[in-house]
């Protein structure tokens, strides 16, 4: 059964007297306890898609389509209902914890405030639970950490604090928006391992937003690849990385360095990524695609639930994708 179902989602924002589309025709489902990775380059619309789930869209944004969470249509919820959804059912881990944790309040205040306000726990009990949560995310000496302020913690520790704050309320769905981008490679691995383990233990679903296809494949059950505001491929993680169907997915995989291979120059996708409002009427990826034909620039390929490429079957048979 699907916990979250996004159907035909489109989002546009006003700019210089016109509407600029950032997300269009996005279909995505996440089952209870499932982890789905939403992957793409900067500007592809993946973060905006995640924020739309919580109604955290830019001021004046125009949103259409359907977002159903546990049977309720999110786009029709009022402010009070949205606050309740954010407080208990869906938690979000942001990319930069320093931008989302109040710098003048202690770590203890940050961790216990929601537990007191939303769970009704006494302050002492909330503090004890916060110490246990810090231990679970790999932070020792929790009692001392609660008295510290954000500037006293490294980026890795602060992101662990952010994860602990989300896990404290045990939501049904976690939206993780580039949770390790600002961290070094070793710390990235540790933080993602902690998040994945604790999520599985609690049976929570997760939508992981990332530009790192291999990271998403190692963590998620299914992957959805996004380009120019649309999903171009969505499949089980192992199948997608083993045999990509869309040229863009293939390009992302080929541009990643591998420990087991020695190469003098990595392959790159030519050109630059475009936002949805910049895309041509045909396939948005066509100007960068080595397999594009004239017909690819004439009509936008339809996403059939697996891939959006008119040549995918042909290229797969030829082993060119």
pLDDT digits (tens, 9 = 90+) for 215-253: 899 999 999 999 999 999 999 999 999 999 999 999 998
DSSP symbol at 98: G
Of the candidates 248, 234, 317, 231, the one whose C-alpha atom is nearest the C-alpha of residue 285 is 248
What domain count does the chain have? 1
Whether 232 is covered by a domain: the verdict is yes
299: in domain? yes
Mean pLDDT for the stretch of residues 119-130: 93
Domain with 34 in it: what CATH number?
Answer: 3.40.50.300
For residue 307, give its domain range.
2-104+149-318
Beta pairing partners, 226: 231
Task: Name the one residue in this structure whose structure tokens are 């993946």.
Answer: 46
Query: What is the DSSP code string of 116-171?
Result: HHHH---HHHHHHHHHHHHHHTT---HHHHHHS-GGGS-HHHHHHHHHHHHHTT--
Q: What is the pLDDT of residue 317?
A: 46
- 124: in domain: no
CB 158 within 8 A of CB 111: no
Query: Do residues 45 and 276 lie in contact, with contact meaning Cβ atoms separated by under 8 Å?
Result: yes
Residue 134 has pLDDT above 70, yes or no: yes
In a domain, 128, yes or no: no
**What is the pLDDT at residue 100?**
86
The one-character DSSP state at 181 is: T
Tokens encoding 155: 């980026």
170: left (phi over 0), alpha (psi -120 to 50) or beta: left
Q: How many residues does the chain have?
A: 321
What per-residue confidence (pLDDT) applies to 184?
A: 76
**Nearest Cα to Cα of residue 90 among 200, 33, 172:** 172
At which residue do the structure tokens 């990332």 appear?
210
**Mean of pLDDT over the chain:** 90
State mean pLDDT over 116-134: 93
Nearest partner of 86 among 6, 39, 122, 94, judged by Cα:
94
189: helix, coil or strand?
A: helix
Q: How confident is the model at residue 320 (pLDDT cuts 50, 70, 90)?
A: very low
For residue 57, count other CB atoms closer than 10 A to its CB. Answer: 16
This prediction has a pTM of 0.90
Tell me if 127 is assigned to some domain. no
Dist CA 237 CA 281 (whole Å): 30
Q: Is position 173 within any domain?
A: yes
Strands 222-227 and 62-69: unpaired
Model pLDDT for residues 54-104, shown as the tens digit of each residue: 999 998 999 999 999 999 999 999 999 999 999 889 999 988 888 889 999
Residue 120 covered by a domain: no
Q: Does any domain span residue 311?
A: yes
The C-alpha angle with vertex 69 and arms to 99 and 245, in degrees rounded to 5, equals 85
pLDDT the model gives residue 260 = 66
Segments in the chain forming alpha helices (H): 46-53, 79-84, 107-119, 123-136, 142-147, 155-167, 185-202, 213-219, 237-242, 247-254, 312-318
């Amino acid at each position: 059964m699907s916990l979250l179902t996004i159907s035909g989602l489109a989002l546009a924002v006003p700019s210089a007297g016109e509407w600029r589309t950032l997300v269009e025709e996005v279909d995505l489902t996440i089952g209870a306890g499932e982890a789905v990775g939403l992957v793409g380059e900067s500007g592809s619309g993946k973060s905006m898609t995640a924020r739309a789930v919580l109604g955290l869209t830019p001021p004046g944004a125009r949103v259409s389509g359907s977002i159903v969470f546990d049977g309720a249509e999110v786009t029709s919820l009022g402010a009070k209902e949205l606050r309740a959804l954010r407080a208990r059912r869906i938690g979000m881990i942001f990319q930069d914890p320093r931008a989302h944790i109040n710098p003048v309040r202690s770590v203890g205040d940050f961790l216990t405030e929601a537990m007191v306000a939303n769970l009704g726990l006494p302050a002492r009990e909330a503090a004890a639970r916060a110490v246990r949560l810090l231990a679970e995310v790999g932070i020792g000496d929790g009692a001392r950490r609660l008295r510290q302020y954000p500037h006293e913690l490294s980026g890795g520790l602060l992101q662990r604090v952010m994860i602990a704050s989300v896990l404290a309320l045990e939501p049904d769905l976690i939206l993780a928006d580039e949770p390790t981008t600002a961290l070094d490679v070793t710390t990235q691995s540790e933080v993602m391992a902690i998040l994945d383990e604790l999520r599985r233990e609690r049976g929570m679903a997760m939508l992981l937003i990332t530009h790192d296809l291999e990271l998403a494949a190692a963590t998620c059950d299914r992957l959805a690849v996004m380009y120019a505001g649309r999903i171009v491929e969505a499949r089980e993680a192992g199948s997608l990385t083993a045999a990509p169907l869309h040229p863009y997915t293939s390009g992302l995989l080929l541009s990643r360095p591998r420990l087991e291979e020695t190469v003098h120059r990595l392959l790159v996708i030519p050109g630059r990524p475009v936002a949805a409002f910049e895309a041509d009427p045909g396939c948005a990826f066509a100007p960068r695609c080595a397999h594009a034909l004239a017909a690819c620039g004439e009509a936008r390929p339809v996403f059939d639930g697996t891939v959006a490429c008119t040549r995918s079957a042909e290229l797969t048979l030829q082993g060119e994708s």
